Structure 1
């Protein structure tokens, strides 16, 4: 008999419990986050169980699919994809990981203490080095690590703490205790992904989210803003804070952009910055503005090609010197990667006593450093049972001894014996499991929780929750996004009355200070904004023209020798000229379909959409978050166009809906400043050039009256002006000849949003935003040249073609002039390697 709906979820959970005991490795710790909490009656899990019972497997699968759709709509990316695009490797399981308030308080205390400990150790290693001199830490352990940078010795930024941000990976061991298994102190990543997970999980599990008393995440990001303001150099009453990014091709480009949005600060890249007189500044055309604080997302040794890695194109020349002079503060400090050495965990209990006078609250996995004889012997004798790690992350990933073949184990032994100080080993932690939703039901997978801390006056504030990463398959030991891990939202239950209120982002700003005039846009940003406008308009204009060409082909492709066929060939010829393509031997309909969906050919709609998406990735922090929703729909609309003989009209209509949504979100969601000015300038130049070229290729070439009439109406339809033409012709308020009407409406009519004259008027306004109100004489000249004349419609129409070509050439020249004035990029840096000699390794 078929099970009723209430019976189904009980079987789901019963089946999950059975799997916990049968799937090898998944529950090696004997602890499962869901079942363990249910069995002990932990707070918050009753609601989760009720939701599982109510949704059943079909509902959970629907939630998983909805989460995947929202990941695409929100533009959440990780890693690298095809054609230079960020990858789509971010997967969210809809079931949250829930932690009670009491348990979380203990976890947060341990994570905060660990952050204080790392902060104190960093200050000592780049200061007095008391721990090295006393032998508490072996000198080789620190000085041989590639994260230790002598060149930054003695540099300190203002504020109580040097480490602004920390991340600690923790897991529940076989005793049920949370254990630290790793730390990130150089460029701790993941907190913005945690916020993205919360936004999406709250939507796909809306009922459960509303009923659950959760600690919200937003106030923690307010803490980051305050922490960055607090480390600004002395005298920076209105500190300029930026995110230094390695670029849109970074695997965590989404996180950087979303974090910048949450903090309200801009993203910059190396080419956006310049160094003058020991100060770091943003370059925006002829204007510069000093930067006070860099939130660094570039690895330290790539951050300054002058003092660190000469071949780097990601850093800022002179950053080390500017930091030493106290002109800029860097978070996290250059050199903080030395703390990511896993061998340091073997010394943490003693370091906690030496530096904090406290016992370590959050235990480590037991660790051995091969730089000592006794530890090395233990590791070599037990290679088959230990997790072996190079002390530097750049030397590779962890090796799980029990997974290695005999030859691989022998090779690892030889490498350890040759350079023992470069290796550490840890006792494996039997990590707890958590359920994920699959088509087979709920399945257990190992889970690691990344926690995050931010410096405050009183110590460190820990994000309530974090980023849960779940093994991609049963038995997986290395759980990381690079190995395909799934992610979960982490819900920390709030105690009544303990929710922190949101506070002003700008706590350092003196109330009587005048508002700072915003600096202009960096050349890289302005360039990409301009092409966002151009590619969006190019895709739309091409799609509209293809719709008209396809309509003509449906009616006339099989009717040679007719006026309709001649009109179709004229329009298809214009399509080919505008897209730089040729039909070859395939049918017209197949040719038009390829011009719609072939991403590999320049000039197609798909190619323009791809370039549009890549341009938006470069300026994520400048655009509305809703942009990613419409871009996601646009990409889906293109992907779902069939490659067979189905009619194109419904597919093009759906594509145009998405393109109109892109136009709408940019037009209605952006402040009218220089950011909008560059986008709108791109739109107006592209639309004007498209219309001019289309008129030149069609109506400017005289033909038989019947054919010319059909061609003119096709052009008007492609330019969304056919209704205006028909109304004016019927009312006698416009030229009666279709060709003259088309030219009047599409070239001279300043009231028609599709005309060239209208584009020039709008271009004036856009350039005024870009150039701070300065008039553009070139646009004035173009407008003066757009004068109707009977001579334009002589038998040969030479005057019309000449006018169209002249305006087109002037517009292209104007576009080039904008590029010269606003998009000039910084020349590649070529720094000579210098031997470092200024900082001392001895005591101060």
Structure 2
């Protein structure tokens, strides 16, 4: 579907109905009160779509979000399968007029510049504190102030974000500054990709600013921040890992910037320099965009219990060998206690009035402010200055009289520790709910990137709508609905920063991008799970056909063939068949029951998990196919319906995954590990299948049918028949099947073919030991005497196949121990900090 039609069988009046629902809220509305040029096109599109169009748009957005695998939250667990959920996106964009945005953009640029100067002052001369512009308690008492970062020079506030909301007059105000490890820019781009498809006609007809250029600017700003000695700097994005609630945002942002997504396990510190691990090689890192909170980044100087950081990272920044963005301690700028003093700081540092003010805020360490807060406590949002994660603000109007009294006492006891803020009414915007529009409160997150020339603001952002009109705290974790933000261009061409013309014509060559053990391991297992799921599904398709034909014909050769293939499937999946269970139900369990680790559904679930861990290494198209694959398995029919259509859809999707990676991945280390996983798993499964089926002597009539079934699983039945008719190859069917599926290097399904490709993959990744080992294995397979092995009850064949399978398992075990081995869990002994300067 290319988008929702804006003309057709539409019933006008949806905007009028929305106006009637929104009116009682008496709030500024982004659709109804916006500038005519901004709102009229969207309003006309809504009325043209009608209720049916709105429903279709909402469904299409959900499908595309699902197809792209966009998620928020922590990965699901067996105890709580709902912790990671699909991204909730509304199809209707939030539209902002060019003139309004121009003023807002200037204000954001000023604020970004101001915050950068404040941060530099906090960790150097602290003149703002010495002169009383900002109370020292507000800064030094905030957990975001990192004393170990004191005195570190040479890094600047490079990226940032601000959460904005409208006041009663419709003016934008700051709800919160996001300067430590700001998230959401990747989600903003993902929103645009989807909404531009769903609202394709409106998107084409609207003169709005595109977002892509902002990420070029961000990349240039990050490269500018690298140490000056780096002629061709290497930057990485440091992530807490796949268990981060914004893991999608991090991986997508890394892809947009073209930087590797790394975890602490991927990095090493040598001689004061940060390096990225790649097998036995190290690649120097010059800039780190961190999405790990400051106090978790260096267990040597900060939290000794952190497993997310790199010991010695702060010392590396002191030496100037690496730039960490944003700088350690930038979280102090997220301090709500700074809000009352930013206007004064702006005059002090810039000689200007502050253009973008916060929501009215009071720091209770000031006597006058404390008096006001205590008198109006029931109307304010109150939080501790030193609040940490898990300590939400308190809404005064929601507290009982007892709790209010306790809060007053706490403020009186430690006035410096408390900050109060007036809640903004916030504007509203329409959200598609069911077949109608409903108003929700709006928070807008804006983004910027700053280089040495100043900050550049993304012309757009991440809109979020509260789950209810009464919502005051609007966040993705609280169930907010996301909005794409359209900024009209006003006819002016936007020029983004592009430094390619400033790069030297010739730059020194360096090592290609490294693949860390963590990434290599996940890529390898992606390949294994793809091959495992496909091989198992192909086997189940043959078993399903046999059960359909022979389940009720006990004692026939066909029933014996069915039993042999069910037992082979049980051997490969480790899902035993007791002989009494309904064969159809058993096949269904091997396909779709995730309780069994050998089922196709289990392999697919692990495939998706592994893919999420290295999302930035895969083509975007993979996610559409994986989504289709998951849906196909989720719709596995009941026992009374045939499984074949589902099996065919699963095979089709798995082939699509293989095709996408084969046609989209550069033949570098990443490809070598992923393809190596495919080859090892397929070779292992084929050897095991042959051993379990043809490694056992059976009556000739049964053996003939089993042989054909095995050849069908191995996609070699047509070649076998043609060779038999032409008199080419072994005459005995078992010999022909073993020759085709074990030793034929021209057959892409044979064990020999997999070993040859595995050898090439090891050469590609530079693993000479494994390359030699696979070369030896290939020679052993080529020398295997199939005719002699098939004599005397097939013991020789079964034994030989077992040896080949064990050899492949040995390769897998050595890879796990040597190549994919992670850094040992660090244990840092806490010690008093002695670096930096004494604070004053």
| Change beyond 3 A, Cα 1:479–1:578 | same
| Change beyond 3 A, Cα 1:111–1:310 | same
Distance 1:175 1:306 in 2: 50
Aligned twin of 2:246: 252
Distance 2:726 2:444 in 1: 71
Q: CA deviation at 1:774?
A: 8.0
Q: Give the conservation status (yes or no) of the 8 Å contact 1:142–1:148.
A: yes
Structure 1 residue corresponding to 2:425, chosen from 430, 438, 455: 430
Distance 1:717 1:704 in 2: 20
**1:263-342 aligned within 5 A:** 263-342=257-336
Structure 2 residue corresponding to 1:672, chosen from 667, 670, 680: 667
Distance 2:171 2:89 in 1: 25
Aligned twin of 1:460: 455
Q: CA deviation at 1:483?
A: 0.3
RMSD between aligned alpha carbons?
Answer: 1.9
Q: CA deviation at 1:417?
A: 3.2
Q: CA deviation at 1:643?
A: 3.8
Distance 2:432 2:457 in 1: 29
Distance 1:822 1:507 in 2: 40
Distance 2:162 2:674 in 1: 41
1:515-544 deviation digits (Å, cap 9, x = unpaired): 322143111111111111001100100111
Q: CA deviation at 1:733?
A: 1.6
**1:624-773 aligned within 5 A:** 624-771=619-766
Aligned twin of 1:560: 554
**1:492-507 aligned within 5 A:** 492-500=487-495, 503=498
Tell me the secondary structure at the aligned position of residue 36 of structure 1. Answer: coil
Tell me the secondary structure at the aligned position of residue 229 of structure 1. Answer: helix
Q: CA deviation at 1:393?
A: 4.7
Aligned twin of 1:16: 18
Q: CA deviation at 1:557?
A: 1.1
Q: CA deviation at 1:806?
A: 1.3
1:153-180 deviation digits (Å, cap 9, x = unpaired): 010225xxx1101111111222121111
Q: Give the conservation status (yes or no) of the 8 Å contact 1:101–1:493.
A: yes
Distance 1:45 1:132 in 2: 45
Q: CA deviation at 1:8?
A: 5.5
Q: CA deviation at 1:233?
A: 1.3
Aligned twin of 2:85: 88
| Change beyond 3 A, Cα 1:295–1:156 | same
Q: CA deviation at 1:79?
A: 0.4
Q: CA deviation at 1:456?
A: 2.8
Report the more deviating stretch, 569-578 or 305-314: 569-578
**1:124-523 aligned within 5 A:** 124-158=121-155, 162-391=156-385, 392-394=387-389, 396-500=391-495, 503=498, 509-523=503-517
Distance 2:256 2:760 in 1: 31
Q: Give the conservation status (yes or no) of the 8 Å contact 2:54–2:435.
A: no
Q: Give the conservation status (yes or no) of the 8 Å contact 1:469–1:480.
A: yes
Q: Which runs of 5+ in 2 are unaligned?
A: 1-6
| Change beyond 3 A, Cα 1:837–1:821 | closer
Structure 1 residue corresponding to 2:795, chosen from 773, 798, 823: 798
Distance 2:695 2:798 in 1: 6
Q: Give the conservation status (yes or no) of the 8 Å contact 1:93–1:437.
A: yes
1:489-516 deviation digits (Å, cap 9, x = unpaired): 1101113242226735x56643222232
Distance 2:802 2:8 in 1: 73
Q: CA deviation at 1:677?
A: 0.5
Report the more deviating stretch, 390-399 or 204-213: 390-399
Does residue 100 (structure 1) correspond to residue 97 (structure 2)? The answer is yes
Distance 1:411 1:643 in 2: 58
Q: Give the conservation status (yes or no) of the 8 Å contact 2:723–2:729.
A: yes
Q: Give the conservation status (yes or no) of the 8 Å contact 1:223–1:454.
A: yes
Distance 1:405 1:643 in 2: 53
Aligned twin of 1:574: 568
Q: Give the conservation status (yes or no) of the 8 Å contact 1:471–1:485.
A: yes
Does residue 598 (structure 1) correspond to residue 600 (structure 2)? The answer is no
Matched residues, number: 828
Structure 2 residue corresponding to 1:51, chosen from 45, 48, 51: 45
Does residue 831 (structure 1) correspond to residue 816 (structure 2)? The answer is no
Q: CA deviation at 1:281?
A: 0.8
Q: CA deviation at 1:414?
A: 3.7
Distance 1:793 1:148 in 2: 74
Q: CA deviation at 1:94?
A: 0.6
Distance 1:394 1:610 in 2: 31
Q: CA deviation at 1:12?
A: 1.2
Does residue 62 (structure 1) correspond to residue 64 (structure 2)? The answer is no
Structure 1 residue corresponding to 2:32, chosen from 19, 30, 35: 35
Q: What is the TM-score with the length of structure 2 in the denominator?
A: 0.96
Q: Which runs of 5+ in 1 are unaligned?
A: none
Q: Give the conservation status (yes or no) of the 8 Å contact 2:561–2:705.
A: yes
Report the more deviating stretch, 700-709 or 637-646: 637-646
Q: What is the TM-score with the length of structure 1 in the denominator?
A: 0.95
Q: Give the conservation status (yes or no) of the 8 Å contact 1:238–1:508.
A: no
Q: Give the conservation status (yes or no) of the 8 Å contact 2:55–2:435.
A: no
Distance 1:335 1:376 in 2: 28
Tell me the secondary structure at the aligned position of residue 111 of structure 2. Answer: helix
Q: Give the conservation status (yes or no) of the 8 Å contact 1:386–1:425.
A: yes
Tell me the secondary structure at the aligned position of residue 193 of structure 2. Answer: helix
Q: Give the conservation status (yes or no) of the 8 Å contact 1:238–1:509.
A: no
Q: CA deviation at 1:772?
A: 6.8
Does residue 117 (structure 1) correspond to residue 114 (structure 2)? The answer is yes
Q: Give the conservation status (yes or no) of the 8 Å contact 1:343–1:369.
A: yes
Q: Give the conservation status (yes or no) of the 8 Å contact 1:166–1:452.
A: yes
Distance 2:621 2:406 in 1: 52
| Change beyond 3 A, Cα 1:548–1:412 | farther
Distance 2:571 2:407 in 1: 62
1:226-255 deviation digits (Å, cap 9, x = unpaired): 111111113111111110111011111111
Q: Give the conservation status (yes or no) of the 8 Å contact 1:596–1:604.
A: yes
Structure 2 residue corresponding to 1:612, chosen from 596, 607, 612: 607
Q: CA deviation at 1:339?
A: 0.8
Q: Give the conservation status (yes or no) of the 8 Å contact 2:283–2:511.
A: no
Distance 2:225 2:37 in 1: 39
Tell me the secondary structure at the aligned position of residue 611 of structure 2. Answer: helix
Q: Give the conservation status (yes or no) of the 8 Å contact 1:44–1:212.
A: no
Q: Give the conservation status (yes or no) of the 8 Å contact 1:748–1:788.
A: no
Distance 1:806 1:110 in 2: 71
Tell me the secondary structure at the aligned position of residue 72 of structure 2. Answer: coil
Report the more deviating stretch, 686-695 or 735-744: 735-744
Distance 1:166 1:409 in 2: 35
Q: CA deviation at 1:724?
A: 1.3
1:117-145 deviation digits (Å, cap 9, x = unpaired): 11111011100011111222111111111
Q: Give the conservation status (yes or no) of the 8 Å contact 2:46–2:54.
A: yes
